[in-house]
Amino acid sequence: MALNWFKKKKKSENDEPSGPQDSPGFQEEDGRADDIPEEQGLPAGESQPPEEPREQEEKEQTQDVPRQGLFARLKRGLAKTRKILTSDIDDLFRGRKYLDDEMLEQLEELLITSDMGVQTTMDLMAAVAKKSRRIDGAEALKQVLKEEILKLFGDLEPQQPDAGTGPRVIMVVGVNGVGKTTTIGKLAARATAEGKSVLIAAADTFRAAATEQLTIWAQRAGAEIVKHRENADPAAVAFDSVRAAVARGTDLVLIDTAGRLHTRVNLMEELKKIKRSVAKNLEGAPHEILLVLDATTGQNALSQAKIFNEALEITGLALTKLDGTAKGGIVVSICSSLRIPLRYIGVGEGIDDLQVFDPARFVEALF
Ligand SMILES: Nc1nc2c(ncn2[C@@H]2O[C@H](COP(=O)(O)OP(=O)(O)OP(=O)(O)O)[C@@H](O)[C@H]2O)c(=O)[nH]1
Ligand SMILES: [Mg+2]
């Protein structure tokens, strides 16, 4: 099998790290909040909306969105990655019917380009080579890839832990800018649409704009919000939120946290403190520690997951911005190399652009 490309890739990785993707994953004082206007972090519609205003779509949020609508949005979101995996695979077979060595090498490159990761790509290539006699054209190859990717997703545990009695508490963590606040807004909207009561805790107290942004999302979603003053102790906000939710009989608490402090160690210590303060109020809480990862950072997301998991024992992942990247293969890479279930994927900035990760639907949308 043609693994020359992989050797070349390894060499070039060692030679020159390519920008933020290869950084350790933590942008400490990188100036995101300082250099970029505060509105940048606001939900779509508050700054420069990427598309037409989504009034119609926003109306849908409170209704049961039909499966076809979800699938169409997922396909739209995955368009860039799908291009690699479909038209580029079609191109491979132009004028040829069966896979030869050169085509295998090109296929390997396509899989790496879509950010499946080296190990996953090698596993997929081995499977394709085994079944190469069966592969008599682009469609047959796509079918084999679908089957093999589904196998890699195979033993994922889709169920979320039960909260038992009392509110279910989800603490949302991740480095700055990955989409934590947006994901919370979307999760809150999903829950209120299902008739659940939701309380959002503004435990990112380090920027006034963070709380403002969260307040807008809470209003859109019809959720309550608990906030303190800027620079208040985040753990105290989380503590008060859970106490209020227990007293009010709220169904769901979503805790927003900061993605950047002065040092990496401090961020982790701060997050651990929030986790402990939540547990003090409600046994078993937080029921979920959801790590948000940005798909556009590619393989870097994997190293972030490892670091957060060591500190906090992450129970679930949300992968955002799949619509902004051709590297949707990162989903396969994450699912096959991490032991943490991928719960949600973000395929746009709109309130209804967060989907429960469904492997079969995802694979269908990818090809
Ligand atoms: N295209 C796209 N953009 C997204 C998605 N999720 C979030 N974003 C955008 O990513 C940007 C950052 O999102 P935030 O929710 O502010 O990220 P954050 O992790 O809370 O950032 P900090 O609070 O600064 O740590 C915003 O412009 C969002 O609209 C997604 O699934 N697709
Ligand atoms: Mg935020």
Over residues 14-56, the pLDDT tens digits come to 443 333 333 333 433 333 333 333 333 333 333 333 334 444 4
Please state, in angstroms and rounded to a whole number, the distance separating the CA atoms of residues 326 and 187: 25
Provide the total of helices (H) and of strands (E) in the chain, helices listed first.
16, 8
Among 1-10, 157-166, 260-269, top mean pLDDT goes to 260-269
Residue 128 has pLDDT above 90, yes or no: yes
Distances (CA, A) of 302 to 117, 209, 298: 10, 28, 8
- CA 294–ligand 1 middle distance (angstroms): 9
**0.85 cut: is pTM over it?**
no
- CA 228–ligand 1 middle distance (angstroms): 22
Q: Which ligand is nearest to the CA of 186?
A: 1
Please state, in angstroms and rounded to a whole number, the distance separating the CA atoms of residues 7 and 311: 33
Termini Cα distance of the chain = 24
Please state, in angstroms and rounded to a whole number, the distance separating the CA atoms of residues 174 and 26: 9
pLDDT at residue 89, rounded to an integer: 93
- CA 99–ligand 2 middle distance (angstroms): 47
- Tell me the backbone φ, ψ of residue 49, rounded to 5 degrees: -65, 135
Which among 355, 320, 350 has a CA at the least distance from the CA of 334? 320
Average pLDDT over residues 94-113: 92
Average pLDDT, rounded, for the chain: 82
For ligand 2, a single-atom ion, which residues have Cβ within 5 Å? 180-181
Which among 202, 203, 200 has a CA at the least distance from the CA of 218? 200
pLDDT at residue 34, rounded to an integer: 32
Ligand 1 pocket at CB < 6 A: 41, 43-44, 174, 176-182, 204, 210, 259, 320-321, 323-324, 346-349, 353
Q: Which ligand is nearest to the CA of 183?
A: 1
Average pLDDT over residues 129-154: 92
Report CA torsion sign: 302, 340, 317, 321.
positive
Q: Which residues contact 57 (CB under 8 A, 6 or more apart)?
A: 350, 351, 352
Residue 314 has pLDDT above 50, yes or no: yes
Residue 233 has pLDDT above 50, yes or no: yes
